[in-house]
Amino acid sequence: MTIMKKIRLGMIGGGIGAFIGDAHRRASRICNDYELVGGVFDADYERSIEFAKNEGIDLKRCYKSVEDLISAETKMAAGQKMEAVAIVTPNALHYPFAKSLLLAGFHLVCEKPMTMTVAEAVELEELVEKTKLTFALTHTYTGYPMVRQMKDLIASGVLGTIQRIDAQYYQGWINSIIHGTESRITGVWRLDPKHAGASSCMGDIGVHAFNLIEYTTGLEINEVLSDLNPVKEDVKLDLDGTVLLRFGKNLKGVIRSSQVCGGEENNLTIAVYGSKASLKWGQENPNYLYMLSDTEPAKTFKPAHGYNMAFAESSHTMPSGHPEGIYEALANIYKGAAKSIRGEKFTPGEFPTVHDGVRGMKFIHAVVDSNKAGNIWKKL
Protein backbone atom coordinates (compact mmCIF):
# COMPACT_ATOMS: atom_id res chain seq x y z
CA MET A 1 0.00 0.00 0.00
CA THR A 2 1.35 3.43 -0.96
CA ILE A 3 1.58 5.86 1.93
CA MET A 4 0.46 9.29 0.74
CA LYS A 5 2.73 12.14 1.79
CA LYS A 6 0.96 15.05 3.40
CA ILE A 7 0.65 18.31 1.48
CA ARG A 8 2.89 20.99 2.97
CA LEU A 9 0.58 23.84 3.93
CA GLY A 10 1.26 27.48 4.73
CA MET A 11 -1.16 29.96 6.27
CA ILE A 12 -1.57 33.73 5.90
CA GLY A 13 -3.34 35.18 8.95
CA GLY A 14 -5.18 32.98 11.42
CA GLY A 15 -2.84 33.50 14.37
CA ILE A 16 -3.53 33.84 18.10
CA GLY A 17 -7.23 34.24 18.84
CA ALA A 18 -8.40 33.90 15.23
CA PHE A 19 -11.47 31.64 15.11
CA ILE A 20 -11.41 31.06 11.36
CA GLY A 21 -7.70 30.24 11.30
CA ASP A 22 -8.24 27.67 14.04
CA ALA A 23 -11.14 26.19 12.06
CA HIS A 24 -8.94 25.81 8.97
CA ARG A 25 -6.18 24.12 10.94
CA ARG A 26 -8.60 21.70 12.57
CA ALA A 27 -10.18 20.89 9.22
CA SER A 28 -6.83 20.23 7.57
CA ARG A 29 -5.98 17.84 10.41
CA ILE A 30 -9.35 16.06 10.29
CA CYS A 31 -9.00 15.22 6.60
CA ASN A 32 -5.40 14.17 7.37
CA ASP A 33 -3.99 15.36 4.05
CA TYR A 34 -1.96 18.38 5.19
CA GLU A 35 0.90 19.42 7.44
CA LEU A 36 1.14 23.08 8.50
CA VAL A 37 4.80 23.99 7.98
CA GLY A 38 4.90 27.79 8.14
CA GLY A 39 3.29 31.07 7.28
CA VAL A 40 2.65 34.71 8.11
CA PHE A 41 0.28 34.31 11.03
CA ASP A 42 -0.09 37.92 12.16
CA ALA A 43 0.75 41.42 10.94
CA ASP A 44 2.62 41.76 14.25
CA TYR A 45 5.74 39.61 13.77
CA GLU A 46 6.22 39.04 17.51
CA ARG A 47 2.69 37.66 17.81
CA SER A 48 3.32 35.55 14.74
CA ILE A 49 6.46 34.12 16.36
CA GLU A 50 4.53 33.43 19.57
CA PHE A 51 1.90 31.55 17.59
CA ALA A 52 4.53 29.50 15.73
CA LYS A 53 6.15 28.52 19.04
CA ASN A 54 2.79 27.42 20.44
CA GLU A 55 2.13 25.31 17.35
CA GLY A 56 5.63 23.80 17.22
CA ILE A 57 6.34 25.33 13.81
CA ASP A 58 9.94 25.90 12.70
CA LEU A 59 10.59 29.57 13.45
CA LYS A 60 12.68 29.84 10.29
CA ARG A 61 9.42 29.37 8.38
CA CYS A 62 7.52 32.00 10.35
CA TYR A 63 7.81 34.94 7.97
CA LYS A 64 7.39 38.69 8.44
CA SER A 65 5.52 39.15 5.16
CA VAL A 66 3.98 37.27 2.26
CA GLU A 67 6.82 38.57 0.08
CA ASP A 68 9.34 37.00 2.47
CA LEU A 69 7.43 33.72 2.44
CA ILE A 70 7.35 33.56 -1.35
CA SER A 71 11.04 34.48 -1.64
CA ALA A 72 12.19 31.84 0.86
CA GLU A 73 9.82 29.01 -0.04
CA THR A 74 10.35 29.17 -3.80
CA LYS A 75 14.10 28.69 -3.24
CA MET A 76 13.57 25.42 -1.38
CA ALA A 77 13.84 21.97 -2.92
CA ALA A 78 10.63 20.58 -4.41
CA GLY A 79 10.28 18.05 -1.61
CA GLN A 80 10.49 20.71 1.09
CA LYS A 81 8.73 23.89 -0.01
CA MET A 82 5.10 24.69 0.71
CA GLU A 83 2.71 23.33 -1.88
CA ALA A 84 -0.48 25.10 -0.81
CA VAL A 85 -1.33 28.20 1.21
CA ALA A 86 -4.51 29.04 3.14
CA ILE A 87 -5.51 32.72 3.15
CA VAL A 88 -7.56 33.58 6.25
CA THR A 89 -7.04 37.34 6.51
CA PRO A 90 -9.58 40.20 6.48
CA ASN A 91 -11.32 40.54 3.10
CA ALA A 92 -9.22 43.36 1.61
CA LEU A 93 -6.08 41.22 1.68
CA HIS A 94 -7.49 38.17 -0.12
CA TYR A 95 -6.93 39.44 -3.66
CA PRO A 96 -3.37 40.82 -3.42
CA PHE A 97 -2.12 37.79 -1.51
CA ALA A 98 -3.93 35.31 -3.77
CA LYS A 99 -2.53 36.96 -6.90
CA SER A 100 1.04 36.97 -5.58
CA LEU A 101 0.86 33.36 -4.41
CA LEU A 102 -0.69 32.08 -7.65
CA LEU A 103 2.00 33.81 -9.70
CA ALA A 104 4.59 32.14 -7.45
CA GLY A 105 3.10 28.70 -8.11
CA PHE A 106 1.22 27.92 -4.89
CA HIS A 107 -2.14 26.14 -4.73
CA LEU A 108 -4.65 28.09 -2.63
CA VAL A 109 -7.41 27.64 -0.08
CA CYS A 110 -9.02 31.07 0.38
CA GLU A 111 -11.67 32.50 2.67
CA LYS A 112 -14.64 34.30 1.15
CA PRO A 113 -15.49 36.77 -0.21
CA MET A 114 -12.68 36.09 -2.64
CA THR A 115 -11.94 39.73 -3.52
CA MET A 116 -13.22 43.28 -3.02
CA THR A 117 -14.42 43.84 -6.61
CA VAL A 118 -15.81 41.85 -9.52
CA ALA A 119 -12.86 42.87 -11.72
CA GLU A 120 -10.40 41.44 -9.17
CA ALA A 121 -12.39 38.19 -9.02
CA VAL A 122 -12.40 37.83 -12.81
CA GLU A 123 -8.65 38.48 -12.87
CA LEU A 124 -8.05 35.68 -10.34
CA GLU A 125 -10.26 33.31 -12.35
CA GLU A 126 -8.19 34.02 -15.47
CA LEU A 127 -4.97 33.53 -13.49
CA VAL A 128 -6.13 30.17 -12.11
CA GLU A 129 -7.02 29.05 -15.63
CA LYS A 130 -3.60 30.13 -16.88
CA THR A 131 -1.57 28.54 -14.10
CA LYS A 132 -3.74 25.39 -13.76
CA LEU A 133 -3.33 25.61 -9.99
CA THR A 134 -5.98 24.50 -7.51
CA PHE A 135 -8.05 27.29 -5.96
CA ALA A 136 -10.52 26.25 -3.25
CA LEU A 137 -12.87 28.89 -1.86
CA THR A 138 -14.19 27.99 1.59
CA HIS A 139 -17.93 28.24 1.27
CA THR A 140 -17.85 25.75 4.12
CA TYR A 141 -21.52 24.78 4.14
CA THR A 142 -21.13 22.98 0.81
CA GLY A 143 -19.09 20.40 2.71
CA TYR A 144 -21.99 19.09 4.81
CA PRO A 145 -23.07 15.59 3.75
CA MET A 146 -26.78 16.49 3.72
CA VAL A 147 -26.16 19.57 1.57
CA ARG A 148 -24.44 17.28 -0.90
CA GLN A 149 -27.37 14.86 -0.63
CA MET A 150 -29.71 17.79 -1.37
CA LYS A 151 -27.64 18.71 -4.43
CA ASP A 152 -27.80 15.20 -5.87
CA LEU A 153 -31.50 14.67 -5.06
CA ILE A 154 -32.38 17.88 -6.89
CA ALA A 155 -30.21 16.85 -9.85
CA SER A 156 -32.06 13.52 -9.98
CA GLY A 157 -35.35 15.34 -10.59
CA VAL A 158 -37.29 14.11 -7.55
CA LEU A 159 -38.68 17.58 -6.84
CA GLY A 160 -40.27 17.92 -10.27
CA THR A 161 -40.33 21.51 -11.51
CA ILE A 162 -38.64 23.88 -9.05
CA GLN A 163 -41.11 26.71 -8.36
CA ARG A 164 -39.78 28.59 -5.33
CA ILE A 165 -36.43 28.96 -3.51
CA ASP A 166 -36.02 30.53 -0.07
CA ALA A 167 -32.81 30.98 1.90
CA GLN A 168 -32.06 32.89 5.07
CA TYR A 169 -29.03 33.56 7.23
CA TYR A 170 -29.71 35.21 10.59
CA GLN A 171 -27.18 36.17 13.26
CA GLY A 172 -27.35 38.60 16.17
CA TRP A 173 -23.75 39.16 17.22
CA ILE A 174 -23.41 42.74 15.92
CA ASN A 175 -26.16 44.03 18.23
CA SER A 176 -23.74 44.30 21.15
CA ILE A 177 -21.31 46.27 18.97
CA ILE A 178 -23.60 48.83 17.35
CA HIS A 179 -25.44 49.52 20.57
CA GLY A 180 -22.18 49.99 22.45
CA THR A 181 -19.71 52.85 22.08
CA GLU A 182 -18.56 54.48 18.85
CA SER A 183 -15.05 53.15 19.44
CA ARG A 184 -16.40 49.61 19.31
CA ILE A 185 -18.05 50.25 15.95
CA THR A 186 -14.88 51.68 14.40
CA GLY A 187 -12.77 48.90 15.90
CA VAL A 188 -14.56 46.04 14.11
CA TRP A 189 -13.04 45.48 10.67
CA ARG A 190 -16.20 43.90 9.27
CA LEU A 191 -17.93 47.29 9.60
CA ASP A 192 -15.16 49.19 7.81
CA PRO A 193 -15.49 49.36 3.99
CA LYS A 194 -11.69 49.61 3.66
CA HIS A 195 -11.31 46.11 5.11
CA ALA A 196 -14.69 44.44 4.53
CA GLY A 197 -15.57 45.75 1.09
CA ALA A 198 -18.92 46.98 -0.22
CA SER A 199 -21.09 45.06 2.23
CA SER A 200 -21.13 43.67 5.74
CA CYS A 201 -24.24 41.51 6.03
CA MET A 202 -24.58 40.43 2.41
CA GLY A 203 -20.82 40.19 1.91
CA ASP A 204 -20.23 38.12 5.03
CA ILE A 205 -23.27 35.85 5.38
CA GLY A 206 -25.83 36.64 2.67
CA VAL A 207 -23.35 35.43 0.07
CA HIS A 208 -23.35 32.02 1.79
CA ALA A 209 -27.11 31.75 1.25
CA PHE A 210 -26.58 32.77 -2.38
CA ASN A 211 -23.86 30.16 -2.81
CA LEU A 212 -25.98 27.40 -1.25
CA ILE A 213 -28.82 28.15 -3.64
CA GLU A 214 -26.64 27.92 -6.74
CA TYR A 215 -24.70 24.93 -5.35
CA THR A 216 -27.70 22.77 -4.45
CA THR A 217 -29.93 23.60 -7.41
CA GLY A 218 -27.35 23.95 -10.18
CA LEU A 219 -29.23 27.09 -11.24
CA GLU A 220 -27.86 30.60 -11.62
CA ILE A 221 -29.58 33.69 -10.25
CA ASN A 222 -30.02 36.18 -13.10
CA GLU A 223 -31.32 39.30 -11.35
CA VAL A 224 -31.66 40.69 -7.84
CA LEU A 225 -33.68 43.44 -6.18
CA SER A 226 -32.49 44.38 -2.72
CA ASP A 227 -33.53 46.45 0.27
CA LEU A 228 -30.62 46.87 2.71
CA ASN A 229 -30.49 48.44 6.16
CA PRO A 230 -27.46 49.76 8.12
CA VAL A 231 -29.77 49.92 11.20
CA LYS A 232 -27.89 52.89 12.73
CA GLU A 233 -26.85 56.20 11.17
CA ASP A 234 -23.16 55.83 12.10
CA VAL A 235 -22.82 52.39 10.49
CA LYS A 236 -21.44 52.59 6.94
CA LEU A 237 -22.40 49.11 5.70
CA ASP A 238 -25.56 47.01 5.61
CA LEU A 239 -26.34 44.90 8.67
CA ASP A 240 -29.70 43.57 7.48
CA GLY A 241 -31.43 43.03 4.16
CA THR A 242 -33.85 41.22 1.90
CA VAL A 243 -33.07 40.26 -1.69
CA LEU A 244 -35.66 39.18 -4.25
CA LEU A 245 -34.32 36.72 -6.81
CA ARG A 246 -35.15 36.01 -10.45
CA PHE A 247 -33.85 32.82 -12.03
CA GLY A 248 -36.07 32.92 -15.09
CA LYS A 249 -39.59 33.81 -16.16
CA ASN A 250 -41.34 31.31 -13.90
CA LEU A 251 -38.90 30.85 -11.03
CA LYS A 252 -38.43 33.37 -8.24
CA GLY A 253 -36.95 33.30 -4.76
CA VAL A 254 -35.72 35.31 -1.79
CA ILE A 255 -32.68 35.68 0.46
CA ARG A 256 -33.19 37.17 3.92
CA SER A 257 -30.05 37.97 5.85
CA SER A 258 -29.29 39.83 9.08
CA GLN A 259 -26.57 40.32 11.67
CA VAL A 260 -28.87 42.09 14.15
CA CYS A 261 -31.50 39.45 14.96
CA GLY A 262 -31.27 39.34 18.75
CA GLY A 263 -30.71 35.82 20.04
CA GLU A 264 -29.97 34.26 16.65
CA GLU A 265 -26.67 32.39 16.45
CA ASN A 266 -25.93 30.93 13.01
CA ASN A 267 -29.36 30.34 11.54
CA LEU A 268 -28.69 29.46 7.90
CA THR A 269 -31.53 27.62 6.16
CA ILE A 270 -32.47 26.76 2.60
CA ALA A 271 -35.73 25.45 1.16
CA VAL A 272 -36.26 24.39 -2.46
CA TYR A 273 -39.91 23.89 -3.37
CA GLY A 274 -40.93 21.76 -6.34
CA SER A 275 -44.09 20.58 -8.07
CA LYS A 276 -43.67 17.02 -6.73
CA ALA A 277 -41.75 17.52 -3.48
CA SER A 278 -39.59 19.98 -1.54
CA LEU A 279 -36.33 19.87 0.44
CA LYS A 280 -35.39 21.84 3.56
CA TRP A 281 -32.05 21.99 5.41
CA GLY A 282 -30.72 24.07 8.31
CA GLN A 283 -27.12 24.61 9.41
CA GLU A 284 -27.78 24.49 13.15
CA ASN A 285 -29.08 20.91 12.79
CA PRO A 286 -27.02 19.88 9.76
CA ASN A 287 -27.48 16.12 9.97
CA TYR A 288 -31.15 16.39 9.01
CA LEU A 289 -32.44 16.93 5.47
CA TYR A 290 -36.23 17.00 5.18
CA MET A 291 -38.29 16.09 2.12
CA LEU A 292 -41.89 17.27 2.05
CA SER A 293 -44.67 16.08 -0.27
CA ASP A 294 -48.39 16.56 -0.80
CA THR A 295 -48.84 12.83 -1.43
CA GLU A 296 -46.49 11.08 1.04
CA PRO A 297 -45.42 11.46 4.68
CA ALA A 298 -42.40 13.68 5.25
CA LYS A 299 -39.00 11.96 4.95
CA THR A 300 -35.84 12.64 6.93
CA PHE A 301 -32.39 11.91 5.47
CA LYS A 302 -29.35 11.55 7.75
CA PRO A 303 -25.65 10.91 7.02
CA ALA A 304 -24.01 7.47 7.03
CA HIS A 305 -26.95 5.50 5.63
CA GLY A 306 -27.08 3.38 2.50
CA TYR A 307 -30.16 5.20 1.18
CA ASN A 308 -28.09 8.34 0.48
CA MET A 309 -26.49 9.28 -2.81
CA ALA A 310 -22.82 8.30 -3.30
CA PHE A 311 -21.54 11.89 -2.91
CA ALA A 312 -23.20 12.30 0.50
CA GLU A 313 -22.00 8.88 1.62
CA SER A 314 -18.41 9.72 0.72
CA SER A 315 -18.63 12.91 2.79
CA HIS A 316 -19.36 11.71 6.33
CA THR A 317 -16.50 10.99 8.73
CA MET A 318 -18.38 9.14 11.50
CA PRO A 319 -20.84 6.23 11.76
CA SER A 320 -24.55 7.02 11.84
CA GLY A 321 -25.79 8.71 15.00
CA HIS A 322 -22.48 10.46 15.71
CA PRO A 323 -23.02 14.19 15.09
CA GLU A 324 -20.66 16.00 12.74
CA GLY A 325 -20.37 19.75 12.33
CA ILE A 326 -18.58 22.72 10.82
CA TYR A 327 -15.04 21.35 11.19
CA GLU A 328 -15.93 18.18 9.32
CA ALA A 329 -17.69 20.17 6.59
CA LEU A 330 -14.61 22.35 6.12
CA ALA A 331 -12.45 19.21 6.20
CA ASN A 332 -14.43 17.86 3.23
CA ILE A 333 -13.48 20.96 1.24
CA TYR A 334 -9.83 20.52 2.23
CA LYS A 335 -10.09 16.84 1.23
CA GLY A 336 -11.44 17.75 -2.22
CA ALA A 337 -8.73 20.36 -2.70
CA ALA A 338 -6.09 17.78 -1.75
CA LYS A 339 -7.33 15.44 -4.48
CA SER A 340 -7.07 18.26 -7.02
CA ILE A 341 -3.60 19.30 -5.83
CA ARG A 342 -2.39 15.70 -6.19
CA GLY A 343 -3.96 15.33 -9.62
CA GLU A 344 -6.43 12.71 -8.41
CA LYS A 345 -9.98 12.25 -9.68
CA PHE A 346 -12.56 14.19 -7.68
CA THR A 347 -16.30 14.79 -7.85
CA PRO A 348 -17.44 18.20 -9.12
CA GLY A 349 -18.69 20.03 -6.06
CA GLU A 350 -16.12 18.63 -3.63
CA PHE A 351 -14.78 22.16 -3.18
CA PRO A 352 -16.04 25.57 -4.32
CA THR A 353 -13.81 27.01 -7.02
CA VAL A 354 -12.60 30.41 -8.16
CA HIS A 355 -15.72 30.57 -10.37
CA ASP A 356 -17.88 30.43 -7.25
CA GLY A 357 -15.85 33.39 -6.00
CA VAL A 358 -16.66 35.35 -9.16
CA ARG A 359 -20.36 34.53 -8.81
CA GLY A 360 -20.28 35.62 -5.17
CA MET A 361 -18.70 38.98 -5.98
CA LYS A 362 -21.24 39.59 -8.75
CA PHE A 363 -24.04 38.86 -6.26
CA ILE A 364 -22.65 41.17 -3.56
CA HIS A 365 -22.12 44.10 -5.91
CA ALA A 366 -25.44 43.63 -7.72
CA VAL A 367 -27.22 43.66 -4.35
CA VAL A 368 -25.42 46.82 -3.20
CA ASP A 369 -26.05 48.52 -6.57
CA SER A 370 -29.74 47.59 -6.50
CA ASN A 371 -30.17 49.15 -3.08
CA LYS A 372 -28.27 52.34 -3.98
CA ALA A 373 -30.27 52.79 -7.19
CA GLY A 374 -33.55 52.85 -5.27
CA ASN A 375 -34.38 49.15 -4.97
CA ILE A 376 -34.51 48.19 -8.63
CA TRP A 377 -33.69 44.97 -10.47
CA LYS A 378 -30.01 44.47 -11.31
CA LYS A 379 -28.45 41.75 -13.44
CA LEU A 380 -25.56 39.74 -12.03
Q: Mean pLDDT, the chain, as a whole number?
A: 95
Per-residue pLDDT tens over the stretch 2-42? 567 999 999 999 999 999 999 999 999 999 999 999 999 99
- Residues contacting 280, CB < 8 A, separation 6+: 269, 270, 271, 272, 289, 290, 292
Interacting residues of 290 by C-beta distance below 8 A, sequence separation 6+? 279, 280, 281, 298, 299, 300, 301
Dihedral class, residue 264 (left if φ above 0, else alpha if ψ from -120 to 50, else beta): beta
Residue 302 has pLDDT above 90, yes or no: yes
Query: Mind listing the pLDDT tens digit for each residue in 339-364?
Result: 999 999 999 999 999 999 999 999 99
Q: Please report, in angstroms and rounded to a whole number, the separation of the first and last CA atoms in the chain.
A: 49
Please tell me the number of Cα atoms within 13 Å of 7 on its side-chain side. 28
Instruction: Let me know if the fold of 7-141 is the same as that of 143-315+354-379.
Output: no
Residue 177: CB atoms within 10 Å: 18
Ordered by start, the domain boundaries in the chain are 7-141, 143-315+354-379
On the question of pLDDT at 48 being above 80, the answer is yes
Rounded to whole angstroms, the Cα distance separating 9 from 82 reads: 6
pLDDT of residue 183: 58
Tell whether the model's pLDDT for residue 191 goes beyond 90. Answer: no
- When pLDDT is cut at 50, 70 and 90, the band that residue 249 belongs to is confident
In this prediction, residue 250 has a pLDDT band, given cuts at 50, 70 and 90, of: very high
Q: Evaluate whether 154 touches 272 at the Cβ level (below 8 Å).
A: yes
> Could you tell me which CATH class the domain 143-315+354-379 is placed in?
alpha beta
Nearest one of 333, 366, 347 to 112, comparing CA atoms? 333
- In this structure, the dihedral spanned by the alpha carbons of residues 117, 122, 123 and 127, taken in order and rounded to 10 degrees, is 140
Give the span between the Cα atoms of 176 and 185, in whole angstroms. Answer: 10
Query: Kind of pairing, strands 278-282 and 267-274?
Result: antiparallel
The model's pTM is 0.95
The pLDDT of residue 181 is: 66
Among 2, 6, 1, 3, CA closest to 342: 6
In this predicted structure, what is the pLDDT of residue 364? 98
Euclidean distance between CA atoms 86 and 21, whole angstroms: 9
CB 278 within 8 A of CB 291: yes
% of the chain at pLDDT higher than 90? 91
Going by C-alpha positions, the residue among 137, 111, 147 that lies closest to residue 283 is 147
**178-196 per-residue burial string, b: 16 or more CB within 10 A, e: under 16:** beeeeeebeeeebbbeeeb
Architecture of the domain delimited by 7-141: 3-Layer(aba) Sandwich (3.40)
List own/partner pairs for 279-288 with CB under 8 A and 24 or more apart.
279/150, 279/153, 279/154, 279/159, 279/216, 281/144, 281/146, 281/147, 281/150, 283/141, 283/144, 286/144, 286/146, 286/147, 286/324, 286/325, 286/329, 287/145, 287/146, 287/323, 287/324, 288/146
Q: How far apart are CA 265 and CA 284, in angstroms?
A: 9
